[in-house]
Structure 1
Amino acid sequence: MSDKPDCPRDPILRVVPRPADINANGHIFGGWVLSQMDIAGGIVAGREAQGAVATVAIETMEFIAPILLRDIISVYAHIERRGRTSLAIRLEVIATRDGGRTEEKVTEGVFTFVALDENHRPRPLPSE
């Protein structure tokens, strides 16, 4: 099975889960996956905002399939919406399995980030 990401381009982040990231069922903790998605979304949002950003919401989140210990996960992202101070970033996680023979979409969600000024308050995004 091959699930190519709906998000364009190269992955923002690629990482291999470690044994410490496994839950009692032998799958990777959902919180670990969320943190990887937040890191990738923050990279995209920070580039677009040209400065500091903060995660303010997870609009949607779906765990589609479990991530396994030997998977390599790739996090893809694109900007879905742009507001005055905020960005909604769609994030998709693809697991590469079986020594690279298969790929499967395992998680997706939309995270909202806000651009911050030097006082950690919302600021307008730069013009496009």
Structure 2
Amino acid sequence: MNVARHSPLIRMIAMPADANPAGDIFGGWLMAHMDLAAASLATRRARNRVVTAAVEAMSFLLPVSVGDEVSFYGEVISTGRTSMKVHVEAWRRRREDEEEFKVTEATFTLVAMGTDRRPAPLPEG
């Protein structure tokens, strides 16, 4: 994914409550925000409610510290009849710097849901 071509789906500031005693942000905090970013994009594509069905493995490349701005970028990489795969990358920027660094990435599988809370077909396009 070329980050320069995309706007972030969401952007967050890592806060002290999100960190361990050493000041490093919990991996679960990153994963939760990545899931939120994936669902935001998938909801627009499905034009309906979506649920997360699976997440492929995550590797943490760099730590995120309290005060870092974390941007979450994503794109739909494939679609099926009721589901889609959304690839999400998390990039951090130190408060005083302009340069961003990728900290992790994962592919989320999300399923479109109908009003009956059962899988629903994705709309065309």
Whether 1:72 aligns to 2:32 is no
The residue that corresponds to 1:55 in the other structure is 52
Query: How far off its partner does 1:60 sit?
Result: 2.9
Query: How far off its partner does 1:26 sit?
Result: 2.0
CA distance in 2, matches of 1:65, 1:41: 21
CA distance in 1, matches of 2:17, 2:49: 30
Q: Which runs of 5+ in 1 are unaligned?
A: none
Query: How far off its partner does 1:107 sit?
Result: 0.9
User: Which residue identity lines up with residue 51 of structure 1 in the other structure?
Assistant: N
**Any conservation in 2 of the 1:60–1:111 contact (CA below 8 Å)?**
no
Q: Which runs of 5+ in 2 are unaligned?
A: none
Query: How far off its partner does 1:103 sit?
Result: 1.4
The residue that corresponds to 1:42 in the other structure is 39
The residue that corresponds to 1:102 in the other structure is 99
Give the RMSD, CA atoms, in angstroms: 1.3
Which residue, out of 17, 21, 34, partners 2:18?
21
Moved over 4 A (4+): none
1:100 aligned counterpart, secondary structure: coil
What is the TM-score with the length of structure 2 in the denominator? 0.93
Bigger relative contact order, structure 1 or 2 (CA pairs below 8 A, ≥6 apart) = 1
What is the TM-score with the length of structure 1 in the denominator? 0.91
**Any conservation in 1 of the 2:69–2:95 contact (CA below 8 Å)?**
no
Percent of residue pairs bearing the same amino acid type = 39
1:80-127 alpha-carbon deviations (Å, 9 max, x no partner): 111110010000011011513331100100001000011111111001
